[in-house]
Chains A and B, each alone.
Chain A
Amino acid sequence: MSHQQSAEPAIYGLMAEFDHADDLVAAAKAAKDGGYDAVEGYSPMPIHGLSDVLGQKNQVAMFTLGGAITGLLVGFGLEYWVNMIEYPMNIAGKPDFSWPAFVVPAYETTILFGALTAALGMLVMNGLPSPYHPVFNVPAFENASRNRFFLVIESKDPRFDLEKTKSFLQGLHPLSLAEVPH
């Protein structure tokens, strides 16, 4: 494979480590202003505004709405089909299409489908589960889930140049700077 993609850089990217969330946000801003696009921040807790700085998109809400509407239609459709077409039952002389009584199960399926799309949609759009990822190759990265903040400029960025990007990241005064192997 490698002979076909000889242009592909040997590493995944460059990783700079910070000990303060504000430093990561400032560094992300600087990287974006410096013209880099393939930039990702890593943090032990959510940092508000960071993904806006990085220009990332989030479609979880739309998917969830779609899931919830599907759940409503499935639930109500099921009740309609069962009670009107497949198995009409005369219960206390009530009409077959007793829609007020059908509200409750349809309400629950709306919630069920909505919740499952929110959770699964989030995971799938995040590309999880993914047991392997190059960032885990950097030993210092184990603190990304504790108290350290990381900025990675990926080698797929057209402006990525090992030496130039390295000196750019050095200019942001990180605690450490590492090459991320594939």
Chain B
Amino acid sequence: MSNKTTDSEPAALIGPGHSLASVTDKIADMVLTKRTPLGWWFALMVTGTFVGILGFTIVNVFFRGIGLWGPNNPVGWGFDIINFVWWIGIGHAGTLISAILLLLRQGWRTSINRAAEAMTIFAVMCAGMYPLMHTGRPWLAFWMLPLPNSMGMWQNFRSPLIWDVFAVSTYATVSLVFWYVGLIPDLATLRDRAKNIWVKRAYGSLALGWRGAASHWDRYEMASLLLAGISTPLVVSVHTVVSFDFAAGIIPGWHTTIFPPYFVAGAIFAGFAMVLTLMLPIRAWYRLEDFITERHLQNMGKVMLATGLIVAYGYAIEAFTAWYSGSPYESYMITNRLSGPYKYEYWALMLCNILIPQILWSKKARSNVWILFGVSMAINVGMWLERFVIIVMSLHRDFLPSSWGMYHPTRYDWGMFLGTIGFFTFAFTLFIRFLPAIAMFEMRGLVPRGPARPGKSAH
């Protein structure tokens, strides 16, 4: 699919002088090399420490209950739901890059889609931990699934919360399947290139005996295209359903029709920021400038700018609707955001999500890795604050002043938050060591289809 779309300008997508063998060897050697970079061990140690913190927190919350967390009356949803929405949103960029950009025939997705899909899976794993623990009795989580049980009880399919169960579990499954299908031909390459017999067997088992037959490729490409086509409405539906969790409630600040598109745009915004946060260091450490070129950075910067503007529009419409509704509760919600006890969080959100990304209008800024990294970190923080603003600020002061309160996260809230960040980066660190971080077979579609010969075109 990719070789067709990018024939016109392959030079911008991949450094000059690459061949079928050189792209394969470069990417496969990142995995098959015997010399593990020292920095990798360091990253594993640091992130592993945070996985330890996550384990400690989860064990405590599991045995002693979610009273260890900060949520209270009236703020019944705290870090758990903020982080759930934040992580799910981050995952969306992976699906967007792998599915929607595939359907739109954007050849530049090729070198970043594998890592972005991996990021999706790890982000969804992090997201899943929160509602699971939030149920309070995670060992009864299977009650959310439509399984026959001795109580004779069934789910209420009118609730957005059960929609969420279906949407998120489908999303996790389909993302994993899509990712694995994409890996099969590359696992076969690793099998064929590995020298050690056990390494060969490990990758060989995972490659399922892939041999690159023409009939197989034909079905494979059809399956990939269909998976992309199926994932596209899926990814839009997942964050829409997440936004229904709020929009179907009557709390001022939640009960608004702008939520589905605004959440989806925010998810893409957050996800691209996280892709850059992960890919910029890897690009530098593994010297992948030939594969993740300036054009990739430019395009990702543009996507962030565009989705950021949609998000800014969402903020503006929220404020406008509150004013236009004439409802005192709705207008108080906005006043409270601008000048209430959490006003610093709100203004930090405006700074991170609206003001700072405007630097991406400049082409120079989009090509500067340091600026891009800084902007992506700001957006990571900003999108987290957005969920804080929506969840905590809406809940803490609703209709009756007698039921107003404040939310203070405890160290178990922070422990789980930092712990999932650790788990995410830990899993990603393992991923870049043991699996090809760039889709080799798709990269082979971007280079000449064989040695150049006089009298014949290289393609």
Contact = CB atoms under 8 A, between A and B. Distances in A.
A56 interface: yes
Given A42-B213, A101-B158, A145 B189 contact: yes
B166 interface: yes
B215 A102 contact: no
Interface stretch (B34-42, B52-60, B219-227, B352-360): B219-227
Contacts of B222: 58, 60-61, 122
Interface in A50-69: 50-51, 54, 56, 58, 60-61, 64, 68
A111 B170 contact: yes
A57 to B, nearest CB: 8
A172 interface: no
A21 B212 CA distance: 13
B172 to A, nearest CB: 10
B233 interface: yes
A143 interface: yes
B157 A22 contact: no
Nearest to A144: B212
Interface stretch (A6-14, A131-139, A159-167): A131-139
A15 B191 CA distance: 21
Given A83-B157, A118-B227, A128 B208 contact: yes
Contacts of B210: 128, 145
B237 A104 contact: yes
A112 B21 CA distance: 37
Given A82-B146, A114-B226, A87 B219 contact: no
A105 B157 contact: yes
B119 interface: no
A159 to B, nearest CB: 19
B437 interface: no
Interface stretch (B173-181, B280-288, B406-414): B173-181
Nearest to B240: A104
B167 A46 contact: no
B170 A60 contact: no
Describe A's contact surface by its main secondary structure.
helix
A35 to B, nearest CB: 19
A147 B19 contact: yes
Given A105-B163, A111-B174, A50 B214 contact: yes
Contacts of B455: none
A125 interface: yes
B157 A101 contact: yes
A142 B28 CA distance: 14
A64 B226 contact: yes
Contacts of A123: 208
B192 A145 contact: yes
B143 to A, nearest CB: 13
A44 B212 contact: yes
Contact of B174 (A28, A115, A144, A145): A115
User: What class of interface size applies to chain A in its complex with B?
Assistant: 35 or more
Describe B's contact surface by its main secondary structure.
helix
Contact of B177 (A51, A116, A131, A132): A116
A44 B24 contact: yes
Contact of A58 (B153, B154, B158, B218): B218
Contacts of A132: 209
B11 to A, nearest CB: 19
Interface string B47-65: 0000000000000000000
Contacts of B219: 58, 60, 122, 125-126
Interface of B: 1, 3-4, 19-21, 24-25, 146, 152-158, 160, 162-163, 166-167, 170, 173-174, 177-178, 180-181, 185, 188-189, 191-193, 204-205, 208-223, 226-227, 230-231, 233-234, 237, 241, 244, 441-442, 444-445, 449-451, 453, 456
Interface of A: 18-23, 28, 40-48, 50-51, 54, 56, 58, 60-61, 64, 68, 78-79, 82-83, 86-87, 89, 91, 94, 98, 101-102, 104-105, 107-109, 111-112, 114-116, 118-119, 121-123, 125-126, 128-133, 135-136, 141-147, 149
